[in-house]
Structure 1
């Protein structure tokens, strides 16, 4: 009851502010699909880090209301701007993720786990923000994926890494004609879903005498001119299992898009290399994607994406021998029908080979939760859902 009263009080305070200042907006998305998945294990595989052995668990088919949302992560948020004069504005965003199926907070139970930042924006020189935010690579490649970061079947974690949101970040964004430049630095990115071992200080960084521990940085450029677009970006995270001994998780990517009438085509590549504190390569891979969107009617849009991960090196720990798993691939499809400006219904499906859906494998610490059942090498998922924006 106390928690509920606190939230109601907060909303009341913000509502009063909204009446007094037109620059404050309350917004959100409710997205809830019902999903079928086959070859789903009842628990995560067991992993022997010393030998590199992965043992899958028994399971079967699963029907469920999916808490992550199908096309968009459920959220509510507050954003606002204040005009300071001379082309300068103050701005902020507070955004909370939650499951529509159970109402629980996501992102580890954080109140504003999706975004929480404040900053300054100048019409000519760009925007500088501070707080929990998306990485430069996430921002740059948002418009270069056929499934548009759909949380259900877009392999976002494999493409961008688990720290595509980071704590303690300062970020610059500038728009110069058709070119957008983004750069960020995090003093302590947080844990990240790929950290299979506990990180020093809980991944918070900002440790006296050890500036690099759990820090992260990146930069990206995008260009959009007529029907053509291109993006390039680099991202690095320095997770430290012990104080003063960070490893490195590096990613570099390039993508392009081209529009022809009601269709838009995409192609992209991402290089990745994850190393431990001694410089041993744990995961080295080349990730590719290709796909298209098609506006079939004013109300119906269709999206198709194909993803392939070429695993060059895979070790489950610094002491484990190198594994040689089959390379995973996945195809995903979305049919989205708009009922109004704020409400749509959709069908989304995906088939993955040599991995669970969203490339759920030992290469990403089984972070996506689609555990393959014993004896299975492929997985199929399908969901129908409704999404409402406010």
Structure 2
């Protein structure tokens, strides 16, 4: 009888041991605001906006200790709109992130799935739209992906440990097209440094067939039409064969103040290669320089204020220029809940990707009917 009880209890013992070495965390964030725009397709507009400073989400994060400093890890992260309850990222259930991998205390981390590229890991954090500003304050159209609009499917990703303040990493996405190894391929590399008040990073992304691999990798994306319709900044270049992005950023903190800057160069190459898609400047390359300078000050542990100026200059087949200013306040009611207010102004000149006179087009808003656009937002964010 005693032997029977011992044997029967063994699964419970092993189960308890396994649970002691594993963890799964449910987490999330809800961010909602009211937006006013002075000119959206020639009309004033009021709207409710979800996921402003950070995308509204819920997710599961887990880790299992395998021994010897090795862990199995996973993340499943869903994005949604608090305003409508709809799924984000084109309707994908775990459209923000979905990956599994191994984490070594000696070598670094390798993961597999839908993930961010190296810009998100090493340079995006220096842009104000990844700090205190809503995504409307990202660089025009988020053309350099420093606000992480575009995730990447089918990726193998590596990120190193930190050695004396330095870290590095990279990712490769398999296109998966039979007989065409380079079709829809995406790869990136990056490195970062952080020591005391100084942080810095650089990153590079190379994208084949960006209309499908980078902008069109959600469940509702088109396999034949343009998926690059969100902004006039780049919508005319959907037929480009390759997109290349170089980015760099740095920040320096002193007292309650932090000054930062970013630079990016984005190129849509061989426009007209993908048939049946918008091809402004066919046969050429559309290129953009972007420079941002920003400043924030922590008046108290609860109150932060920030300001930024961003300049985008098109060259190659276009000469569009965008000047953008952002100011904002963020007040924390608690460690998990804050309220914020921001205002953004953009001015455009030259000829944009549509081949027409450039008009202001703040990120994720309908384009203005004029060269100028102003928007304001007040909102609330809660983390759980």
**TM interval, short-chain normalised:** 0.7 to 0.9
CA distance in 2, matches of 1:114, 1:367: 22
Deviation at 1:313, TM superposition (A): 2.3
Offset from partner CA, 1:91-134 (integer Å, 9 cap, x none)? 00000000001110010100000000000000110000000000
> Residue 115 and residue 324 in structure 1: after superposition, are their counterparts in 2 closer, same or farther (change >3 A)?
same
Give the 3-state SS of the residue equivalent to 1:159 in structure 2. Answer: coil
What is the aligned partner in structure 2 of residue 311 from structure 1? 314
Would you say 1:341 and 2:344 are equivalent positions?
no
Would you say 1:160 and 2:154 are equivalent positions?
no
> Residue 351 and residue 19 in structure 1: after superposition, are their counterparts in 2 closer, same or farther (change >3 A)?
farther
CA distance in 1, matches of 2:208, 2:345: 33
What is the aligned partner in structure 1 of residue 46 from structure 2? 63
Question: Conserved in 1, the CA contact under 8 Å of 2:22 and 2:65?
Answer: no
Choose which of 283, 288, 292 in structure 2 pairs with 1:289: 292
Deviation at 1:373, TM superposition (A): 3.6
> Residue 330 and residue 362 in structure 1: after superposition, are their counterparts in 2 closer, same or farther (change >3 A)?
farther
CA distance in 2, matches of 1:347, 1:240: 34
What is the aligned partner in structure 2 of residue 47 from structure 1? none
> Residue 143 and residue 372 in structure 1: after superposition, are their counterparts in 2 closer, same or farther (change >3 A)?
closer
Choose which of 94, 97, 102 in structure 2 pairs with 1:115: 97
> Residue 247 and residue 163 in structure 1: after superposition, are their counterparts in 2 closer, same or farther (change >3 A)?
farther
What is the aligned partner in structure 2 of residue 96 from structure 1? 78
TM-score of the two chains, using structure 2 as the length reference: 0.78
Choose which of 239, 261, 278 in structure 1 pairs with 2:255: 261
What is the aligned partner in structure 2 of residue 129 from structure 1? 111
Would you say 1:371 and 2:366 are equivalent positions?
yes
Choose which of 179, 189, 199 in structure 1 pairs with 2:166: 179
CA distance in 1, matches of 2:328, 2:286: 30
Deviation at 1:240, TM superposition (A): 7.1
> Residue 362 and residue 129 in structure 1: after superposition, are their counterparts in 2 closer, same or farther (change >3 A)?
farther
- Which aligned segments of 4 or more residues in structure 1 are displaced greater than 6 angstroms? 18-21, 240-243
Offset from partner CA, 1:281-306 (integer Å, 9 cap, x none)? 34211111110121011210112111
TM-score of the two chains, using structure 1 as the length reference: 0.77
Give the 3-state SS of the residue equivalent to 1:350 in structure 2. Answer: strand
CA distance in 2, matches of 1:225, 1:131: 31
> Residue 241 and residue 148 in structure 1: after superposition, are their counterparts in 2 closer, same or farther (change >3 A)?
closer
CA distance in 1, matches of 2:129, 2:142: 14
Question: Conserved in 2, the CA contact under 8 Å of 1:263 and 1:293?
Answer: yes
Question: Conserved in 2, the CA contact under 8 Å of 1:154 and 1:332?
Answer: no
> Residue 224 and residue 362 in structure 1: after superposition, are their counterparts in 2 closer, same or farther (change >3 A)?
farther
CA distance in 2, matches of 1:176, 1:19: 29
Report the structure number with the largest CA radius of gyration: 2
Q: How does 1:70-85 map to 2 (within 5 A)?
A: 70-85=52-67
Deviation at 1:387, TM superposition (A): 0.5
Deviation at 1:367, TM superposition (A): 10
CA distance in 2, matches of 1:340, 1:235: 38
What is the aligned partner in structure 1 of residue 135 from structure 2? 151
Give the 3-state SS of the residue equivalent to 1:139 in structure 2. Answer: helix
Deviation at 1:371, TM superposition (A): 2.5
Aligned Cα RMSD in Å?
Answer: 2.8
- 5+ unaligned residues in a row in structure 1: which ranges? 1-17, 42-58, 188-204, 315-322
Deviation at 1:370, TM superposition (A): 1.9
CA distance in 2, matches of 1:213, 1:135: 18
- 5+ unaligned residues in a row in structure 2: which ranges? 1-17, 213-222, 224-238, 274-281
Deviation at 1:246, TM superposition (A): 7.8
Give the 3-state SS of the residue equivalent to 1:297 in structure 2. Answer: coil
What is the aligned partner in structure 2 of residue 196 from structure 1? none
